[in-house]
Amino acid sequence: MPEPRLPEPRLDDAAIARRALREILPGDVVAVDAGLAALAPALAPPELGAWFLRDNGMLDDVPLSIADAATIVRGGHVNAAIISIAQVDAAGRAAGRLAAAHPGIAPPGNAVDLAANAGRVVGLLPSIGNAGAPNLVAELTLPADIVGPLDTVITDVGVFRLQGGKPALTEVAPGWSAADVAALTGVAVSVAPGLREMEFAPSSGRPPSKVYADGQTAIADLPNGATVFIDGFGGPGGMAHYLLIALRDRGSRELTIVSNTAGIARVVSFGTPPGKTAIDHSVLIENGQVAKAIASFPVSPSVSRPSEFELAYRRGAVDLELVPQGTLAERLRAGGAGIRAFYTPTGAGTLIAERKETRAIDLTGDGGRQYVLEYGLRADFALIRAHRADTRGNLVYRGTSRNFNAVMAPAARVTVVEVDEIVEPGRLDPEEIVTPGVFVQRIVKRPDDFTGYE
């Protein structure tokens, strides 16, 4: 059909992208796909402090693997997604940006992931397609690969909020009226109260600081009954000793702790200086704060020197869920990546599989091997250790002390990191960053005179 003749020019692509930035709050994690949406990161002011995850795996200046990028998206870490689309209907279902160019085989790219997992979803598209027909329609004529639905649609002539199956026009481009915009849509549009002209300045303000004065302040809201990830391997390396002491002194009780061990550094020296006692999970168990441990090595390797957890377990004071080490790592990784459950052959036919679902899965044509269903792990808090952090929370580890830190950080609602040094953004080599700051909410510098021993 012929395109309506209207008096004013439509917005260019840069203006549409600038308007999309008004949907972003300071400090938001924002995922953008290719096309029109990809213009937004370069137009964002630095003081907004937003993180932009691009479809090539770059998180601002930090390079990620596609798997790590997917963890950010599917793990619920994206506050908003800005997606380039080709068509959208009244219910907020959309066809991705390549649907019109590749009918029948349109590649969805990462748009499907973004729409399904982001907190808010903003779609960008021109009001009129290449064939001269409206792109906002009553029913899609292109395949739907985004069924989220979209929350907001921004075109070159207006902004629409999609609620209740009927688009509401909330803003118009400069020089346009509601009637002008309605002439370029293929669906009935309501005009929202307070209709106004579009503005393009991004949200003002800065994100709150992630740097906390001390350990007690950083965990002041860790409640009774919380599930807490605590990093660490066998010895003291990589364990957040300062935060463990802060948690002991805070006194939160009925905790479920998730860790590789449940406190064995205290009973096996691992290089502990003479006359010193290693700080580990035992400080919480001695204080009566732990109700349950999910761990791989909850007992001492020495029968004659049982750990505090082992003694408490024998008394019936604590519960235990025993998990093979590789399975524990994968349950943590899965929890952070939004994977609710998975099957593994580890533990099939052993005590580990008791009261768990098992099934035969045929991958090689041999009739199937037995696999055990395991669930992803999530926590209220993670107390982890790193060597250096910048003020945005990007982390660099030292040697093998990385252990479980990197898989715990994405899987907690609040990740608190204890570091030796805090630097300004840009001071860390992006290639050395293992844990991106999107997974870290709070940073504490370990006092210079503090050691991992009492």
Does residue 452 fall inside a structural domain?
A: no
Count of domains observed in the chain: 2
Element (H, E) at 276: none
Do 260 and 170 fall into the same domain?
Answer: no
In this structure, which amino acid lies at residue 261? T
Do 111 and 172 fall into the same domain?
Answer: yes
Do 87 and 182 fall into the same domain?
Answer: yes
Per-residue pLDDT tens digits for 445-454: 999 999 888 8
The pLDDT assigned to 400 comes to 82
| Helix/strand/coil for 178 | helix
**What proportion of the chain, given as a percentage, has pLDDT over 70?**
95
The pLDDT assigned to 111 comes to 81
**9 falls in which pLDDT band (50, 70, 90)?**
confident
Contact 454, 279 (CB under 8 A): yes
Do 78 and 136 fall into the same domain?
Answer: yes
Per-residue pLDDT tens digits for 33-83: 999 999 999 999 999 999 999 988 899 999 999 889 999 999 999 999 999
Contact 280, 268 (CB under 8 A): no
- More confident site: 240 or 132: 240
The pLDDT assigned to 224 comes to 98
Does residue 78 fall inside a structural domain?
A: yes
> Which residue shows structure tokens 């309501």?
190
Do 228 and 119 fall into the same domain?
Answer: no
* 145-170 average pLDDT score: 88
Contact 154, 16 (CB under 8 A): yes
The pLDDT assigned to 236 comes to 58
| Cα 287 from Cα 289, distance rounded (Å) | 6
Please tell me the least confidently modeled range out of 141-145, 306-310, 394-398: 141-145
| Cα 66 from Cα 55, distance rounded (Å) | 9
The pLDDT assigned to 362 comes to 85
Query: Could you count the other beta carbons within 10 Å of the beta carbon of residue 359?
Result: 12
First-residue to last-residue Cα distance in the chain? 80
Does residue 357 fall inside a structural domain?
A: no
Do 133 and 265 fall into the same domain?
Answer: no
Please tell me the least confidently modeled range out of 107-116, 153-162, 302-311, 313-322: 107-116
CA-wise closest residue to 184 among 250, 134, 139: 134
The pLDDT assigned to 205 comes to 81
Q: Is the pLDDT of residue 1 over 50?
A: no
Do 149 and 173 fall into the same domain?
Answer: yes
The pLDDT assigned to 373 comes to 98
Record the pTM.
0.92
Q: In 3-state terms, the chain is what percent helix, strand and coil (to 5)? A: 20, 30, 50
Does residue 249 fall inside a structural domain?
A: yes
Per-residue pLDDT tens digits for 371-395: 999 999 999 999 999 999 999 999 9
Domain range enclosing 56: 13-197
| Cα 408 from Cα 378, distance rounded (Å) | 9
Per-residue pLDDT tens digits for 332-352: 999 999 999 999 999 999 999
Does residue 22 fall inside a structural domain?
A: yes
**What proportion of the chain, given as a percentage, has pLDDT over 90?**
72
Tell me phi and psi for residue 242, to 5 degrees.
Answer: -60, -40
Does residue 363 fall inside a structural domain?
A: no
**4 falls in which pLDDT band (50, 70, 90)?**
low
Query: Could you count the other beta carbons within 10 Å of the beta carbon of residue 124?
Result: 26
Do 189 and 216 fall into the same domain?
Answer: no
Among 197, 221, 246, identify where a domain stops.
Answer: 197
The CATH number assigned to the domain holding 43 equals 3.40.1080.10
Do 187 and 220 fall into the same domain?
Answer: no
DSSP 70: H
Contact 299, 264 (CB under 8 A): yes
Share the mean pLDDT of the chain: 91
Does residue 331 fall inside a structural domain?
A: yes
Structure tokens at 432: 């050395």
Among 163, 197, 231, identify where a domain stops.
Answer: 197
Among 170, 197, 224, identify where a domain stops.
Answer: 197
Does residue 255 fall inside a structural domain?
A: yes
Q: Is 67 exposed, middle or buried (0-12, 13-18, 19+ CB in 10 A)?
A: exposed
Do 125 and 263 fall into the same domain?
Answer: no
Structure tokens at 301: 């390797």
Q: Is the pLDDT of residue 237 over 70?
A: no
Contact partners, residue 98, CB within 8 Å, separation at least 6 = 86, 106, 107, 109
CA-wise closest residue to 403 among 230, 231, 229: 231
Please tell me the least confidently modeled range out of 5-14, 129-138, 253-262, 324-333: 5-14
Q: Is the pLDDT of residue 7 over 60?
A: no
Do 174 and 218 fall into the same domain?
Answer: no
Do 191 and 259 fall into the same domain?
Answer: no
Per-residue pLDDT tens digits for 382-430: 999 999 999 999 999 998 888 999 999 999 999 999 999 999 999 999 9
Contact 165, 90 (CB under 8 A): yes
**364 falls in which pLDDT band (50, 70, 90)?**
confident
